[in-house]
Homo-oligomer: A and B are copies of this chain.
Amino acid sequence: MMTIWYGGDYNPEQWPREIWDDDVRLMNQAGVSLATVGVFSWARLEPRPGEYDFGWLDEVLDLLHAGGVRVDLATATASPPPWLALRHPETLPVTENGVRLSVGSRQQYCPSSPVYRERAAELVRRLVERYADHPALELWHVNNEYGCHVSHCYCEVSAEAFRSWLRAKYGQIDELNRVWGTAFWSQHYDSFDEVSPPRAAPTFRNPTQLLDFDRFSSDELLACYRAEVAIIRERSEVPITTNFMGFFKAVDYWAWAREVDVVSDDTYPDPADPDSPAYAAMVRDLMRSLGGGKPWLLMEQSPSAVNWRRRNAAKAPGQMRAWSYQSVARGADGILFFQWRQSAAGSEKFHSGLVPHSGTDTRLWREVEQLGQELALLSARTGNEAIAGSRVLSHVAITLDWDSWWALEQPASPTDVSYVQTLFAWHRALTSLGLTVDFVRSDADLSAYRIVVAPAHVAASDAQVANLAAFAETGTLVVGFGTAITDENLHVRLGGYLGEPLRRALGLWIEEFAPPAAPDLQNLGSGIPPDVPIRGDIFGGAAAGQVWAEFVRVEDAETVATFTEGALAGWPAVTRRTTGSGAGWYVATLPEPDALRRLAASIALDAGLELPAPVTRGGQVESVRRGEHVFVINHGEEPAEILVDGTDVITGAPTSGMRLHPQGVVIIATAGTP
């Protein structure tokens, strides 16, 4: 069914029975089409070991079905009931400092625990038996936000599982010794029995041990997911998902995305942070990319305020709607919320809901109704005019690899670079030019792209290095600082970093790092300044490099910009080399935002990509083409004037000259115009 789903998490077990009818009535009033049920219901479904109570859930599903609301049914395994901890305290997770976490919160289970896994499996078996054929069932929702609070467990059960994982990976202990570099600091292991999770230690822990533990931890959670999926698949063909959490470091979503039928995402940008729209745009693009371009679901966002920041801003009038359309524009076929009715008790009672504490005579409810009506209108469009199911086309991609994320942010690194902030800087620069950007694995097939940017891809395997270098033969490869310093085992690529294929493709090698001083040292009388001045026509003159700098030794490349001060003065900051029909750029620092935008524009032009014309005059506008529609959203505080000819599919009005207010959205049917 091609549609744009609307709805959210529905937790009727928190409310008396008489509210349930009102819920369905209001859902209909608001146009809700999909409700996620049962996410935290384990303790209600199995109030004591082996005793199940499904009656209330039967009733909920029947009520929703009668009301025409489809169901995304959760497997309810995200938080075990307190009886599990009482009977099996070893299922409780343990921190790296040895603190065993307690009940009374959520997600208190060790992902490697066989006891937890068995009890979860049994619950899923019962649920699937009972509801696989329920007519309301639209989607299976496995567990919830895997790893959100407990992604790494350091207990003895986890330790034993880690050893098994290592045995399977390395076979012989000497291979582990080689890969982990245990010749350093007398860490040589004589047997797998001697190996531990990277628990609290006197000082820096072995980097490859840390990285393997990150991989193991992601794998253990994935094993939990897979076990539930296998049980569902025995009885049900209904699609399965589990909700991702945007750029979530602990879990390698590339591996997971292969195993979900539809990608779904939870994101909660801070309404008080002016960077939120740009950051959220990046998250939406990731979700689309994880699914290989297929439509995805915004599984959770907040109607207004959340409850877990220090100060939780309400969304401004219109902001919920504007941010919802951002997701649709970037490929979402569903706008869902946490949660339907704001809780009256518990830790999330101050998290907003579609039905607020103060009821329906409220600004928030009126916005909920409006959005529901609009999405119904948009869902009704079919064929060439359809929005649901249509695709977003990108000519540009940024590489994203969890290994490099984990590696770059390890302690004992040259400097404290944030991987995601580095990706964000590039994404924002490219997006601000009107380009739509995908994320790709660095070892993926890159042939669909004209430009591929690989920023801070620090831990690159030989295959990844070769894949990137090969792309430069026909496409435009942009390599950012810090790339391919090591291989996937965190062994340094000697002789100038980068690895031979990239060295040849870019025509250069890296001699030494020169990270600028930390901002808190910026007022010192001497030393290295926090920004590294750079200069190049490409920047229109002088600019600042941030975060990182390098001594680059050019062998066969054109220097496009140079560092201008201090020890780096005169050394290349940005280079370019032509290879076959492609090009290889190298950027040895992170240019400040304006400079990076200019650099990105030059690269795009050089790659023969035409930059879209401005769609508005004024405003802080985000513009995205999805299929035959252009979405324009004004995130700024001033109105904008639309310059595009077309029709607003919500109002039916012609768009050219239209005034777009702050938080305003227009969806322009362009009838094939670019």
Q: Which residues of A are at the interface with B, using a C-beta cutoff of 8 A?
A: 11, 13-14, 40-44, 47-48, 76, 78-83, 85-86, 93, 95, 97-108, 148-150, 180-190, 193-196, 198-209, 271-274, 304-305, 307-308, 310-314, 316-317, 342-350, 356-359, 362-364, 411-416, 486, 489-492, 494-497, 509-518, 521, 524-528, 551, 566-567, 636-637
Contacts and interface: CB of A to CB of B under 8 A. Distances in A.
Contacts of A204: 105, 308, 347-348
A101 B187 contact: no
A412 B308 CA distance: 5
B492 A344 contact: yes
Contacts of A637: 526
Contacts of A362: 511-512
Nearest to A364: B512
Nearest to A84: B194
Contact of A80 (B13, B182, B186, B206): B186
A102 B156 CA distance: 13
Nearest to A13: B183
A27 B518 CA distance: 35
B194 A358 contact: no
A205 B516 contact: no
Contacts of A511: 356, 358, 362-363
The 8 closest A-B pairs by CB, nearest first: A181-B345, A184-B346, A105-B201, A43-B188, A149-B202, A102-B199, A204-B347, A272-B527
B102 A515 contact: no
A347 to B, nearest CB: 4
Contact of A497 (B107, B314, B348, B358): B358
Nearest to A342: B492
A305 B515 CA distance: 10
A41 B182 CA distance: 10
What does DSSP make chain A's interface, helix, strand, loop or mixed? loop
A206 B513 contact: no
Given A105-B204, A196-B104, A495-B358, A415 B312 contact: yes
Nearest to A87: B194
B79 A512 contact: no
A273 B42 contact: no
19 contacts: A40-B184, A81-B186, A82-B190, A83-B190, A93-B202, A104-B198, A106-B203, A203-B347, A207-B345, A207-B347, A272-B518, A273-B524, A310-B415, A311-B515, A313-B517, A314-B513, A344-B492, A350-B413, A364-B512
Given A82-B190, A193-B86, A524-B274, A345 B491 contact: yes
B412 A348 contact: yes
Contacts of A42: 186
A510 B358 contact: yes
B205 A85 contact: no
B567 A184 contact: no
B184 A345 contact: yes
A498 B190 CA distance: 59
Nearest to A551: B363
A40 B82 CA distance: 42
Contacts of A194: 82-83, 85-86, 103
Choose among A185, A514, A515 the residue with the greatest number of B CB atoms under 10 Å from its CB.
Answer: A185
Nearest to A524: B274
B492 A184 contact: no
Nearest to A42: B186
Contacts of A312: 414-415, 515
A346 B311 CA distance: 41
Choose among A83, A201, A344, A527 the residue with the greatest number of B CB atoms under 10 Å from its CB.
Answer: A201
Nearest to A83: B190
A313 B522 CA distance: 13
Contact of A307 (B209, B412, B551): B412
A543 to B, nearest CB: 21
B47 A190 contact: yes
A236 to B, nearest CB: 23
Contacts of A85: 194
Given A102-B199, A194-B86, A311-B517, A184 B14 contact: yes
Choose among A14, A41, A346 the residue with the greatest number of B CB atoms under 10 Å from its CB.
Answer: A346
A44 B183 contact: yes
Given A311-B416, A344-B494, 16 more contacts: A42-B186, A44-B188, A79-B187, A102-B199, A105-B203, A106-B185, A108-B202, A181-B343, A184-B345, A203-B347, A204-B308, A207-B349, A272-B527, A273-B524, A308-B411, A357-B497
